[in-house]
């Protein structure tokens, strides 16, 4: 991921230094386990722990010559350790170290993402309560439907974020596995105890059965979970973009005093943060397909997945971390205009109360389909000719057989349509 969208906390996880250090930690832990089994002198392990180090540029230099980055890494470590380096990597494959190290990094990244999600949830909860009773028009197909509250919009996103926290926890657990079982997963050259010891030390569960690699269904589930979370963020951002349109402007992104919206048009206040969130969500979701395609590998392994994952996991987690922070800031500072929301709620001259008129007619004994047609014909006069919906209902002979003017007027009130807001919020303890 480019620096523009990389926060320092994720850069520390995915930089090369941490990647190689994580693999070195795996190698040293394997040496400790082999020493306990009597396969390596304990004195040698102490030397390894004291001297083991690496230089990233030196690894690249060796790799350019031998075209194998793990061997280049081990060669460089050996340059620091000396003769005791012969005990490093005993019975292991490159993938034992790489897969286990990668999953440690993913565990680190997952912890950051979970923290991000928790922060977003808190902001959403606070602002949902703030606008709990703020009436606004609900839209279906982009068309005015029935009243809702802005707090309910935010509560919906809060609820989805809580589910995303659960999804993230499950996905993180799914990826928190290690594997040190040799070339085809049979422990032919290594004792299963080494795997158990290393995984425990690295905070991972051991893969119960493997080939040369941890099976990639784990990875596909993880990446698609990130995609679902990104979808939630895009949903929020898209709503803000719609609400910020000039002709709507019921809410908008915070615009700082020194911010500029356009190089050519000084008046512009563009939803750039929301648009960025939507765009980067596509990037994250786009990794789902290669993650699925990484599941089938030739026999006990090939490396067609490797190049994909070197890009996919850093980019997807870095991007999600970035837009989670961006979304939290977006919602935290969102400018909300209740007066405009109320004005827009009344924009159609009461058409949004057509369901209440229909139900009132049915309650008085009118056949539902027939009553629907009566209400609809008067609604269309408002849509097409701009006529007054309420007045036309009062003049409609079929409607007046069942409802008087006072009863019709009583239907033109949004408050009864929102009587269950408290009940919905109570489901969340709010």
Are 266 and 274 in contact by the 8 Å Cβ rule? The answer is no
Are 113 and 168 in contact by the 8 Å Cβ rule? The answer is yes
- C-alpha to C-alpha distances, 115 to 121, 124, 176, 340, nearest whole angstrom: 10, 14, 17, 35
Are 229 and 325 in contact by the 8 Å Cβ rule? The answer is no
**Can you tell me the distance from the alpha carbon of 286 to that of 280, in angstroms, rounded to the nearest whole number?**
10
**Can you tell me the distance from the alpha carbon of 97 to that of 95, in angstroms, rounded to the nearest whole number?**
5
Taking the mean position of all CA atoms in its chain, how far away is CA 90?
40
Out of 262, 304, 307, 420, pick the active-site residue: 262
Q: What letter does residue 396 receive in the DSSP assignment? A: -
- List all residues 6 or more positions away from 200 whose beta carbon is below 8 Å from its beta carbon: none
Q: Give 76-82's long-range contacts (Cβ < 8 A, gap of 24+).
A: 77/24, 77/27, 77/52, 77/53, 80/51, 80/52, 80/53, 80/54, 81/47, 81/48, 81/51, 81/52, 82/47, 82/51
- Give the count of beta carbons closer than 10 Å to the beta carbon of residue 215: 17
First to last CA, the chain: 39
- C-alpha to C-alpha distances, 93 to 33, 184, 302, 413, nearest whole angstrom: 16, 9, 13, 71
Q: Is 242 a catalytic residue?
A: no
- C-alpha to C-alpha distances, 48 to 76, 190, 201, 325, 402, nearest whole angstrom: 13, 19, 17, 41, 91
SS3 382: helix
- List all residues 6 or more positions away from 86 whose beta carbon is below 8 Å from its beta carbon: none
Q: Is 262 a catalytic residue?
A: yes
SS3 23: helix
Residues carrying an active site annotation = 141, 262
């Amino acid at each position: 991921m480019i620096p523009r969208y990389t926060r320092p906390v994720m850069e520390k996880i995915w930089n090369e230094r941490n990647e190689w250090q994580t693999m070195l930690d795996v190698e040293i832990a394997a040496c400790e386990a082999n020493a306990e089994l009597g396969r390596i002198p304990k004195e040698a392990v102490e030397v390894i722990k004291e001297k083991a180090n690496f230089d990233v540029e030196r690894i690249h230099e060796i790799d350019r010559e031998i075209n194998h980055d793990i061997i280049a890494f081990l060669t460089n470590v050996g340059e620091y350790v000396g003769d005791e380096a012969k005990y490093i990597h005993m019975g292991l494959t490159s993938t034992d170290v790489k897969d286990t190290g990668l999953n440690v990094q993913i565990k680190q990244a997952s912890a950051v993402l979970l923290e991000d999600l928790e922060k977003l949830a808190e902001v959403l909860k606070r602002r949902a309560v703030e606008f709990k009773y703020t009436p606004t028009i609900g839209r279906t197909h982009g068309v005015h439907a029935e009243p809702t509250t802005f707090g309910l919009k935010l509560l919906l996103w809060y609820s989805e974020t809580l589910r995303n926290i659960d999804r993230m926890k499950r996905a993180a657990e799914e990826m928190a596995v290690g594997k040190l079982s040799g070339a085809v997963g049979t422990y032919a050259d290594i004792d299963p105890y080494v795997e158990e010891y290393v995984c425990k030390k690295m905070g991972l569960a051991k893969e119960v059965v493997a080939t040369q690699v941890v099976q990639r269904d784990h990875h596909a589930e993880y990446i698609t979970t990130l995609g679902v979370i990104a979808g939630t963020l895009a949903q929020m951002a898209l709503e803000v973009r719609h609400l910020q349109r000039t002709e709507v402007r019921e809410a908008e992104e915070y615009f700082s005093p020194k911010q500029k919206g356009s190089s050519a048009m000084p008046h512009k206040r563009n939803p750039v943060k929301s648009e960025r969130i939507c765009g980067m969500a596509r990037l994250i979701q786009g990794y789902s397909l290669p993650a699925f395609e990484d599941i089938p590998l030739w026999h006990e392994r090939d490396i067609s997945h490797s190049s994909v994952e070197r890009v996919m996991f850093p980019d997807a987690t870095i991007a999600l971390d970035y837009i989670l922070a961006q979304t939290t800031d977006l919602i935290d500072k969102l400018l909300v205009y209740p007066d405009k929301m109320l004005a827009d709620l009344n924009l159609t001259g009461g058409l949004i109360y057509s369901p209440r008129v229909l139900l009132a007619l049915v309650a008085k004994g009118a056949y539902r389909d027939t009553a629907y047609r009566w209400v609809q014909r008067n609604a269309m006069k408002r849509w097409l000719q701009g006529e007054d919906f309420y007045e036309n209902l009062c003049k409609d002979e079929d409607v007046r057989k069942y409802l008087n003017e006072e009863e019709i007027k009583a239907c033109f009130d949004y408050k009864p349509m929102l009587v269950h807001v408290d009940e919905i919020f109570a489901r969340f303890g709010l």
